Structure 1
Amino acid sequence: MAFMSEHDVPSAHPIADTQGHYLRQVCGKPAALIQKLPGASILDPSAQNCYTLGQMLGKLHCVSKDFPQQRDNVCGPHWWRTTIQSLDPHLSAGELKLVHSEIEYQASFRNTHLPTGVIHADLFRDNVLFLGADITGMIDFYQACTDVLIYDLAISVNDWCSLDDGQLDNTKAQQMIAGYHAKRPLGDAEKQAWPVMLRAGALRFWLSRLRDLHFPREGEVTHTKNPAEYQNILTQRIEQHNHLNAHWPGDLIS
């Protein structure tokens, strides 16, 4: 967060102690003082809000090229497999079939040719602050890691641009992609991978919500989100797979 804030990406800057350390121990647990940012989340974003978010995410990815550290995605394909094993007794036959089928599909896709870097990995609407039309903060970098950049955009599009039934709002999706492309131009390989990344993002958050529902964390103030929302999103992305590139603005990439 400190790196992003110091490179003009609006994020909460941690406050260092007199020795320059951001983390200290409080009651045996790591703790930090974090700058409070102005603004509030917009839970029903407009197409313009989506464009602005796309721009900021593109900027984050450009800036992150110079970030010296790396961190594996702890919620990647290996995590998908171990998580579904623990969930197996709790899910219906239909749910298990859908998860296993999607994991197998994702395993058949090779993304080594796609640009990678630091991603936020959880840039949902409630993790972005607006003041008027401007973004004043991108918060909750707990899931930040090194992974495919277009996967990060797919995660945000799934949350910001989905209708109640899980289908994509074409206008919002196009605007977010266009805003992103204005800051970090997208390549043809990323366009081809787009449907796969949307499906991967939907699978990841369906699994994490199922885990939180069936294995709630003790001693923490948490709000369990409805897993069915992301089951619907994944189902829609699978059904619409061959049409998802239609959400890609035509003037970006032929």
Structure 2
Amino acid sequence: MPARDGNPLREIQGKPAVICTFLQGMSPRRPTLDQCRELGAALGQFHFALGDFRMRRPNDLSISAWPKLWEGRAAAADALSPGLASQVDGDMEFLKANWPKTLPGGAIHADLFPDNTFFLDGKLSGVIDFYFACSDFLAYDVAVCLNAWCFERRGEFNLTKGQALIAGYESVRPLSGEERAALPVLARGAAMRFFATRLADWAETPAGALVRPKDPLEYADKLGFHRSAKSVADYGG
């Protein structure tokens, strides 16, 4: 909401701040096909609307950060699941060798999980938590959402949800051939990002802490799926 001078951006105690209207709705616990499609379309609209946005912010949790997060964590990984460290080492080498160099880029959300959305009467009513928003490949944002929205609780990838999410996105912004070809690598990288940060939190959180860290094994399992994915078709594209 803008102030009297028309400027919505203010400063409180030395930090930028805005006043926003209250968002109605609830976050989905188990996203439906329609919600995945709605989310994909909203992400496409977000990327399309910011096509001319010139402000840049590096992605501090992209591929260059993952080796640093992983360094010294092998024992912690194997404590969670014996043999996991060697698998992650292989993932790191694969991603380093295959990460795309040039794809369409711009402003991305980078953390668009179901609990950062609200739905009301079956429609997306709001998106929150832009803390990790940054500049990166647009298709990487799609890959984050495939990880966050399209796996079921037992760890299996739901192909029909992937189809719905990608179809929703492409109804607004069609993926290029290069983006489609890169999607398996981007999805594997997105899983690595959340595995690495969760493992670091898991290893560093002291016993008895009030905040319980999220389980890194959820994303270790997702990495296992991505290792077998060969093309965008494996994600519903």
**Greater RCO, CA 8 A, separation 6+:** 2
Distance 1:40 1:80, change over 3 A: same
Secondary structure of the corresponding residue to residue 119 of structure 2:
strand
Change (3 A) 1:216 1:153: same
What is aligned with 2:126? Answer: 137
Give the SS at the match of 1:129.
Answer: strand
> How far 1:243 moved relative to its partner?
5.6
Deviation at 1:216, TM superposition (A): 3.2
Q: Which residue of 1 aligns with 2:31?
A: 45
Is 1:247 aligned to residue 235 of structure 2?
Answer: yes
Residue 113 of structure 1 is matched in structure 2 by 102
How far apart are the structure 1 equivalents of 2:6 and 2:204?
39
Deviation at 1:110, TM superposition (A): 4.2
Deviations 1:135-184 (A, max 9, x none): 11111001111111111111111111102332210111000000000000
Select which of 51, 64, 72 maps to 1:78: 64
- Unaligned residue ranges in structure 2 (runs of 5+): none
Distance 2:212 2:53 in 1: 32
User: What is the CA–CA distance in structure 2 between the aligned matches of 1:106 and 1:56, rounded to whole Å?
Assistant: 28
Deviation by residue 1:60-104 (Cα, 9 ceiling, x = unmatched): 011111222101110012210111114244332622212221111
Answer yes or no: is the 8 Å Cα contact 1:191–1:248 preserved in 2. no
**Residues 221, 63 of structure 1: alpha-carbon distance in 2 compared, 3 angstrom cutoff:** farther
Distance in 2 separating the partners of 1:127 and 1:31: 21
Give CA-to-partner distance per residue, 1:34-85, whole Å, 9 cap, x none: 4221111011111011000000000101111122210111001221011111
1:56 paired to 2:42: yes
CA distance in 2, matches of 1:17, 1:195: 48
Amino acid at match of 1:247: Y
Q: What is the CA–CA distance in structure 1 between the aligned matches of 2:203 and 2:4, rounded to whole Å?
A: 39
* 1:32 matches 2:20: no
- CA RMSD after TM alignment: 2.4
Deviations 1:212-240 (A, max 9, x none): 111239xx9745211111111111111x3
Q: Which residue of 1 aligns with 2:84?
A: 95
TM-score by length of 2: 0.88
Q: CA contact under 8 A between 2:183 and 2:231: conserved in structure 1?
A: no
Residue in structure 1 matched with residue 175 of structure 2 by the alignment: 186
The answer for the alignment partner of 2:51 in structure 1 is: 65
Q: Distance in 2 between matches of 1:109 and 1:151?
A: 14
Measured at CA, do residues 183 and 223 of structure 1 come closer, stay the same or move farther in structure 2, by a change above 3 Å?
farther
Residue 32 of structure 1 aligns to which amino acid in structure 2? A
Partner Cα distance (2:130, 2:11) in 1? 15
Task: Work out whether residues 195 and 245 of structure 1, in 8 Å CA contact, stay in contact via their aligned partners in 2.
Answer: no
Are 1:209 and 2:195 counterparts? no
Instruction: Give the match for residue 10 of structure 1.
Output: none
The AA in structure 1 aligned to 2:114 is R
